[in-house]
């Protein structure tokens, strides 16, 4: 079998440099986290020229260069890039295996591609060119032995096609050990022993190696010597469960459409239950006749396989939507979540009726009808300004209330307006007219001062509670910055 090793060295750093092309000529490092003592994971060439190497702490490196730029390791961006690269490489080979240990390495099955690309070098060049377009510096090595081509990929950037397996073995023996991602400890051990290349390493007795340095060294020996059979384990792209429903002739009757959807939902849940998966959300794509397609996403309160519940939520969502034309095709796509078979059985049986669950379902229906953010709950925050003392957060669950404090008599409740009402300036004459329909101010309590937030939008407010002739208590403030009175709310 002919294999190809695609090695994108220091992929996370390359991604950071792609984000900041202006950094390329400067020393740049990638650190594990945003703190001065963070470990340097990667360093570009200008940084390495200044003796800044991975393993150093950022603050140590700064002593070597005050011009040093730092990028923070972003695992999410890396994962996205790896997914994208995986998809990209599947265009060149049906067998693509992302390496388990190194984020920048992919293994490709390079057999039988000559018909498409005429020669292996042309195939390799194509890959290189695609990756170059993504601004990634890459090595592509094609050969026979997995470890040998990996080792050789570390030797130079670009394409290297090795036709002769024996030559491949000989060349690989010259590769320095420090290029091969060995653990620092093992590398140091062999360095001290004067074992600097793969060839030096392979001349050590294998049994002695295992006895002294354990499985890592022995496994390396076996891989490097070709004693381990390492077949390509291509990753299969996850197949999305999809149901397509052709409607002939196009129809805009919701009941008939739902009836059709129901049949396909049964088929979908059957497939999912076999895959030990449950639905967390359903994408409903409606292709319309002579009108743009419509896409709705229906989210469930919990992973489910309950067709009736799913159908009910789809009905709510579609009835809230007006169709610009008759539907000619419906595509259902599942968003799923893997579950244990035992849990799956529970999902299929249905769950006991409990009020909180019912409430959760009700909320799910509201979300289905009005969108994900339509159900929110207030969460208290410890801030001085009333408008900052709470926040709304989307919620999918409801809880039983648990009051933290008990009162002998009902507490006074301050209700405030979403946007404070601007009050007129206090008239010099006839001040009793100031509050208008709220009545005449009788008694003031205050001021209660909030003065701070000087680091952003500073606030300077004097709050008062005003008893009015209409038996109301108003909650007002004077804003010294704006030089205006505002009605914040009322007190019940």
Partner 1 sequence: MNAYVPLWVKSNFSFLEGASHPHELVEQAHQWGLPAIALTDRDGVYGIVQAHTKAQELGIKLLIGSELTLTEPHSSSVVVLAQNRQGYSNLCQLLSKGHLQTHKGASLLNLDDLLPFAEHLLALCTDPHLLEPLQTAFADRLYALFVNHLNVQQVQHQQELKKTAHRLKIPLVGGNEVLYHTPARQPLQDVLTCIRHGVTLPTAGTLLRPNAEHYLKTAQNMRQLFMEEPELLQRTLEIAERCTFSLTELRYRYPGEKLPQGLSETDWLSHLTYEGIRKRYPGDSPPQVVQQIKRELQLIQELDYGGYFLTMYEIVQFCRSQNIFCQGRGSAANSVVCFALGITAVDPIQLDLLFERFLSRERAEPPDIDLDIEHNRREEVIQWVYNRYGRRYAAMVANVIRYRTRSAIREVGKTLGLPLTALDRLSKLLGSRFSDLSDEALRYAGLDPLSPVHQHLLSLSAEIVDFPRHLSIHPGGFLLGHEPVDTLVPIEPGAMPGRTVIQWDKYAIEDLGLFKVDLLGLGALTQVHECFDLLRQFENKDFSLASVPHEDASTYRMISRGDTLGTFQIESRAQMSMLPRLRPKTFYDLVIEVAIVRPGPIQGDMVHPYLRRRDGLEKADYPHPQLKQVLEKTLGVPLFQEQVMKIAILVGGYTPGEADQLRRDMAAWKSSGRIERHHDKLIARMIQNNITPEFAERIFSQIRGFGEYGFPESHAASFALIAYITAYLRCHHPAAFTCSLLNAQPMGFYSPATIVEDAKRRGVQVAPIDANHSQWNCSLFRHDNTLGVRMGYRYIKGFGQNEQQIFQQTSAPYKNLEDFVRRTQLSTSALLQLAEAGAFDCFKMSRRTALWDIQEILKRRGDSLVLPKYSGSIAQFRDVPLEEQIFWDYRTSEHSTRGHPIAKLRPQLSEQNIPTAQQLNSLPDGTRTNYVGMTICRQHPATAAGVTFYTLEDETGFVNLVVWHQIFERYSVLARTALLMGVHGKIQSENGVVHFIADKLWDPQIAFPSDGTTVRSFH
With contact defined as beta carbons under 8 Å apart, do 172 and 183 qualify?
no
Task: CB nearer to partner 1: give 118 or 384.
Answer: 384
How many residues belong to the chain? 492
Closest separation between CB of residue 164 and partner 1, Å? 30
**Residues forming the site for partner 1 (CB under 8 A):** 31, 34-36, 38, 50-51, 58-59, 62-66, 68, 70, 189, 192-194, 203-208, 211-213, 381-384, 388, 446-452, 454-456, 462-463
- 100-139 b/e (C-beta count within 10 Å ≥ 16 → b): eeebbbbbbbbeebeeebeebeebbbbbbebbeeeebbbb
For partner 1, give the closer residue by CB, 186 or 288. 186
Answer yes or no: are the C-beta atoms of 155 and 25 closer than 8 Å.
no
CB of 455 to partner 1, least distance (A): 5
Based on CB atoms, which residue is closest to partner 1, 58 or 147? 58
Measured from the CB atom, the residue of 157 and 186 that comes closer to partner 1 is: 186
Q: Which of 363, 250, 264, 381 is nearest to 311 (CA)?
A: 264
Residues near 318 by beta carbon (within 8 Å), at least 6 away in sequence:
254, 257, 258, 284, 296
CB of 460 to partner 1, least distance (A): 9
At closest approach, how far in Å is the CB of 287 from partner 1?
47
Nearer to partner 1, 94 or 452 (CB): 452
Shortest Å distance, C-beta 245 to partner 1: 50
* Cα radius of gyration (the chain): 33
- Please state, in angstroms and rounded to a whole number, the distance separating the CA atoms of residues 382 and 391: 11
Q: List all residues 6 or more positions away from 208 whose beta carbon is below 8 Å from its beta carbon.
A: none
| Residue 273 C-beta: closest distance to partner 1, Å | 45
Six token digits for residue 149: 């081509």
Nearer to partner 1, 259 or 383 (CB): 383
- Of 215 and 355, nearer to partner 1 (C-beta) is 215
Return all residues near 418 (Cβ < 8 A) that are at least 6 apart: none
**Phi, psi torsion values for 472, nearest 5 degrees:** -115, 155
In whole angstroms, the minimum distance from the beta carbon of 150 to partner 1 comes to: 25
């Amino acid at each position: 079998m002919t294999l190809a090793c695609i090695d994108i060295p220091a992929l996370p750093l390359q991604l950071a440099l792609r984000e900041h092309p202006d950094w390329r000529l400067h020393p740049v490092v990638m650190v594990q986290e945003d703190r001065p003592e963070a470990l340097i994971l990667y360093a570009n060439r200008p940084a390495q020229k200044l003796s800044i190497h991975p393993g150093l702490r950022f603050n140590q490196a700064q002593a070597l260069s005050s011009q040093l730029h730092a990028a923070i390791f972003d695992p999410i961006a890396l994962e996205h890039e790896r997914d994208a690269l995986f998809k990209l490489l599947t265009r060149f080979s049906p067998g693509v295996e992302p390496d388990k240990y190194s984020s920048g390495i992919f293994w490709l099955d390079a057999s039988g591609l000559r018909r498409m690309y005429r020669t292996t070098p042309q195939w390799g060049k194509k890959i290189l060119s695609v990756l170059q377009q993504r601004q990634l510096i890459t090595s592509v090595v094609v050969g026979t032995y997995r470890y040998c081509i990996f080792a050789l990929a570390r030797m130079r950037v670009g394409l290297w096609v090795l036709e002769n397996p024996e030559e491949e073995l000989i060349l690989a023996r010259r590769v320095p050990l420090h290029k091969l991602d060995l653990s620092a400890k093992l590398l140091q051990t062999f360095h001290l022993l004067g074992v600097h290349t793969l060839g030096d390493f392979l001349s050590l007795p294998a049994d002695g190696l295992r006895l002294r340095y354990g499985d890592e060294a022995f496994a390396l020996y076996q891989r490097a010597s070709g004693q381990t059979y390492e077949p390509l384990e291509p990753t299969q792209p996850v197949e999305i469960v999809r149901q397509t429903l052709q409607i002939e002739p196009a129809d805009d009757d919701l009941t008939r459409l739902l009836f059709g959807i129901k049949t396909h939902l049964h088929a979908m849940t059957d497939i999912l239950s076999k895959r030990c998966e449950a639905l967390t959300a359903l994408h409903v794509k409606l292709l319309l006749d002579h009108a743009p397609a419509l896409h709705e996403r229906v989210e469930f309160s919990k992973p489910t396989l309950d067709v009736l519940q799913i159908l009910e939520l789809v009905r709510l969502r579609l009835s809230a939507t007006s169709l610009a034309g008759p539907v000619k095709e419906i595509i259902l796509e599942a968003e799923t979540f893997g579950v244990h078979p035992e849990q799956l059985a529970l999902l299929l049986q249905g769950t006991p009726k409990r009020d909180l669950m019912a409430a959760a379902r009700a909320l799910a229906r509201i979300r289905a009808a009005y969108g994900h953010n339509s159900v929110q709950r207030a969460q208290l925050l410890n801030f001085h300004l009333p408008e900052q003392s709470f926040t709304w957060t989307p919620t999918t669950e409801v809880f039983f209330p648990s009051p933290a404090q008990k009162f002998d008599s009902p507490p006074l409740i301050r209700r405030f307006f979403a946007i404070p009402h601007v009050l007129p300036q206090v008239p010099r004459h006839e001040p009793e007219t100031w509050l208008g329909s709220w009545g005449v101010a009788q008694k003031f309590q205050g001021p209660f001062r909030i003065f701070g937030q000087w680091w952003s939008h500073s606030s300077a407010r004097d709050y008062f509670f005003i008893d009015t002739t209409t038996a109301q208590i108003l909650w007002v403030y004077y804003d010294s910055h704006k030089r205006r009175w505002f009605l914040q709310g009322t007190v019940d």
